[in-house]
């Protein structure tokens, strides 16, 4: 094969960082093309890799598989996302890598939550937490955020809030110098507070959720378009729960063009659900403007 195995591993790792940036800049559909190509290459390389380099290559395969899971999740393809999560877990288990095992299990918890299986999501979040003391600080924060979200969904609101309080100790912005694109580099204090807002909304405390989200939204970097639109989506849902259809529509309307550019079909689908929730109020100007733009998007 051309080049050394050292160089191959180095280049594949560098490509992974580039593909993470491609997702942010050009959207998941474009990034998935590259991730899929690299996974096909890794499948071939794993057949020939010398034993000394196998752990590094298997870790990269797990890393790319987890990215494929996330990208398919963004594209609203749950079966593909779950398939790649299972592959990421299988590869992580081969090398007993705590960070990749925790991260793939974290992703699995997300998928079960989206699938409407919150108790299974809690189980997976608890399994991810078994690696807690072996993973980098931002990952520890993200594991707590997901655990909190799952617990809130099954009614364990006090525990959820405690976990979110604790997550701040490990937030990514408390560990400056971490390269952009590392696992959980997005899990800043602001991101944690966005999820506090989500948990408050789930706990039927929409007014508190709106206040928390208003304070947290300015701290989400503009480059993190999916995180920003997800936060706006959560705020819109809180306005729906608070019986504030105009504010819900106005908030969702801000998210709509950003979600289009981000290419997240999942968020666009959820914005459609906000549209359904406010449809009976289309006589209101903000609601009508949002619904008209939403129809054009669909």
DSSP 22-44: HHHHH-HHHHHHHHHHHHHHHHH
Residue 165 lies in a domain: no
Closest by Cα among 12, 18, 20 to 59:
12
In a domain, 6, yes or no: yes
Dihedral over Cα of 151, 140, 114, 62: its sign = negative
**Neighbour tally for 75: CB within 10 Å:** 18
Residue 27 belongs to domain spanning? 1-96
Nearest in space to 216 (alpha carbons), one of 241, 199, 202: 199
Residue 3 in domain: yes
User: What are the structure tokens assigned to 123, written together?
Assistant: 């189980």
Asked if residue 30 belongs to a domain, the reply is yes
pLDDT on residue 226:
85
pLDDT of residue 245: 98
Residues in the chain, pLDDT under 50: 1-2, 179-180
Q: Is 181 in contact with 207 (CB distance < 8 Å)?
A: no
How distant, in Å, are the alpha carbons of 17, 20, 181, 189, 282 from that of 14?
5, 10, 11, 27, 49
Predicted pLDDT at 3: 59
Q: Are 180 and 165 in contact (CB under 8 A)?
A: no
* Domain assignment of residue 57, yes or no: yes
Is 197 a member of any domain?
Answer: no
Identify the pLDDT of residue 179: 47
Q: Is residue 56 part of a domain?
A: yes
Write out the two tokens for 145. Answer: 């955020």
Number of domains forming the structure of the chain: 1
User: Is position 229 within any domain?
Assistant: no
Beta-carbon count within 10 A of 56 CB: 18
Number of residues that make up the chain: 298
Quote the pLDDT of residue 94: 92
pLDDT value at residue 175: 63
């Amino acid at each position: 094969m051309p080049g050394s195995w050292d160089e191959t591993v180095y280049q594949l790792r560098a490509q992974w960082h580039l593909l993470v940036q491609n997702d942010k800049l050009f959207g998941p559909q474009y990034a998935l093309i590259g991730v899929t190509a690299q996974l096909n290459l890794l499948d071939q390389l794993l057949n020939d890799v010398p034993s000394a380099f196998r752990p590094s290559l298997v870790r990269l395969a797990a890393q790319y598989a987890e990215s494929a899971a996330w990208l398919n999740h963004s594209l609203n393809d749950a079966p593909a996302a779950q398939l790649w999560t299972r592959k990421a877990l299988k590869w992580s288990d081969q090398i007993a890598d705590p960070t990749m095992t925790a991260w793939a299990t974290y992703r699995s918890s997300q998928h079960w939550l989206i699938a409407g299986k919150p108790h299974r999501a809690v189980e997976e979040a608890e399994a991810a937490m078994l690696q807690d003391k072996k993973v980098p600080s931002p990952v520890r924060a993200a594991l707590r955020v997901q655990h909190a979200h799952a617990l809130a969904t099954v009614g364990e609101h006090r525990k959820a809030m405690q976990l979110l309080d604790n997550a701040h100790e490990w937030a990514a912005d408390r560990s400056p110098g971490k390269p952009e694109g590392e696992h959980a580099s997005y899990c800043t204090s602001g991101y944690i507070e966005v999820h506090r807002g989500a948990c408050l909304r789930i706990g039927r405390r929409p007014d508190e959720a709106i206040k928390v989200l208003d304070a947290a939204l300015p701290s989400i970097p503009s480059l993190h378009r999916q995180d920003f639109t997800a936060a706006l989506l959560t705020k819109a849902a809180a306005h729906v729960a608070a019986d504030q259809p105009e504010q819900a529509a106005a908030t969702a309307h801000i998210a709509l063009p950003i979600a289009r550019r981000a290419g997240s079909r999942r968020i666009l689908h959820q914005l459609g659900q906000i549209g359904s929730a406010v449809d009976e109020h289309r006589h209101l100007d903000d609601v009508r403007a949002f619904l008209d733009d939403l129809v054009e998007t669909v």
